[in-house]
Structure 1
Amino acid sequence: MGKRKPVLGLSLLLVVVLSLTGCLGGGKTSGDKVTLTVAITGEGSLVPKVGKHEYSKDTVVDLKAEPADNWQFSHWDGDVAETNAAETSIKMDGDKSVRAVFVEAVDVSTALSSLTAEFVAAMEAKDAEAVLELFASDFEFGAFVEKDLFDELIDNQMVPELLDFIEDADSKEDFLYGIEMFPGLAELASELWDAYAAEGADHPEVQRLARECSLYVLKIEMILYLAQDPGDEGVGGIQAALSAAADEDNDDELPEQIIEWIENSVWRDETLFIPVEFFAHFLNMVFMAPDLTIVPAESGPEQIGGVWSHALAFQPSEDAEPEAYLEAVLRFSQAGDGWQIQGFEFDFTPGLQDMFEDEPV
């Protein structure tokens, strides 16, 4: 038994050494401390407050930023979970620094009124490039118009007339004659003919296709109207252009660019969107109109359903028909700390709408 004492003594010595090593900080344990340094730019309050704070390693610290009056939270600088959220967190797996950034609050209505003024100034300067620079970088489609403005025209006039035309047509070729230049319309019309022949006029699929064809025709009419020169003959001139293009004895056809704009314009969520390239062309057409002034709504920008917008009126000279002007609405989206134009919705006043209803293509 006596021969085992040195071994036991060595074991006790080893325990003491290991204990002292831990107490003297010779190794890292789960109780290690790390430092979070909190700073601020602008005016507001923070949790935890500005300064240095110690936490156990791997602790997740909640962060909260509250802006002072007339200030707004912008973002966090540092390794936080969500940089744009006023309330977020940070994992303390080492020493960390964070900074909350506040910016002076800008009244949204005032900011959007200023952006509208920039738009109006660029329009009045007839500078299409300057106008387009005000739009968001993801601006894919330009002006658009809501379909419900023309629901009565489509349902009560265009669809019945289209179905009557099918009834009177001698053949499918006769029905499709003259629309080959519009591939999308030709495909829809072909489907409509086949469905009508198989099911009759009252079948739901026939009614749906007839409405789709009517919407396509309405799209053609709108694009041609907006693409025309101010000196052209309005909707009557459009009708003549279509007739000439469909006349086999006439070599004149619509420009390929206009046909491309028509094909690339889409009805989406009951709204017609036109390509941004055509929107730029439309701007140039607007610039050619004499004595045109743009008047923003006196009520200023309004927020409806979470979307900010500002109404405009494009007014002609005093001797023009008071109803024959364009109304429009700018739609806005937030971009970082600022705002950009996200959409441009145009609306036909009664005088212009009557032109389409009186002389459909």
Structure 2
Amino acid sequence: MAQGLDTLSGFYRHFALRLASCAAVALVASRAFAVDPGSALPMDEPPTHEEDNATKPQAEAATPEREDPFNPAPTPLARPDQPARKRPREVNALPIVSTDAPPPLIWKYPTFSTGDWAVTITGAALTLGAAIVKPRPQHSLTGPIGFDEDVRSTLRADRLADRYKFRDASDIGLSLAVSWPFVGDALTAAWWYRGSRETAAEMALINLQTLSIVGAIQGVTNVVVSRERPFGKGCGQGELPSDAIDCEGSFHYRSFFSGHSAFSFTGAALICVHHLENELLGGPWDGIACATGYAVAGTTATFRVVADVHYASDVLLGATIGTLVGFGVPLLHYRHIGGGDRVRAQSARFEPTVNLVPSPGGIGLAGTF
């Protein structure tokens, strides 16, 4: 028993010595690693950027970068001295928008009415009907009259192939003369250039009405008069066989009066009226457009004589009818100030008014004129 107590007491002494030595080691370690509490950073707060930047050059200086012998660093190129930049010179900038742009076009004439539509539809129906109906078998006018034969012998192309070429050229002239009042004047000049959709629409309707009227007059006259074309005498003789299309169809008896001439001069007259009344382009350009239209119309009419499909009397009467209708119908629309939407709005805004107003001496009249 006494031996057991000695063993237990020896164990406790050994344990106490171990505990005392551990405490001594902990005390020494705490004093060795102790720092100033005011300068210590919290455990969860990272160092600031200033401290990081301050310590970074020192770390780089302490550990110099080793050069790779296989990939040496490139030698920096010497840059020449750059001249000092000059301050940009101040300029007075001009506006991008052209100051020469024309003012917007305003339609100040009567608008297309129900009666105008009725006339246009009637004229178009007569034009279409005359193109379908064949000319009368009885010919009211046959052969040349007056100077027709002299002009024909002077202007007619000698070869048949050349005559067909002039016929095709006259078709091109007709297309230009008829389409220009729509595409060149209404769509391009009035709408795109002058910015007036209303004016463009009214001009196009006037063009349509005028062409329908001249088409009705020319078509009905063709059917009633039934004049043989100049080349008709040569059908079955020489160059033209008797079974040729020009000799067998109704085209053979539609000489009086020339539709190409009538429609071309109508288009030229429309160009002149629209440009002069609305001043679409301004300056001398309106007059140049009018003269160009008549040059195309005159060339087209002359080519019909050269192609031997019309006598001179046919194209002269066509030019006369086309000019009269081409000027007369539009001028009926341009005859007085009347009816655009903007004009009505402006006129309503500036209508003269008279009102009774009190005055120091009684009652007075006040108005706007």
Q: TM-score, normalized by length of structure 1?
A: 0.22
Q: TM-score w.r.t. structure 2 length? A: 0.22
* Bigger helix fraction: 2
Greater strand proportion: 1
Larger radius of gyration: 2
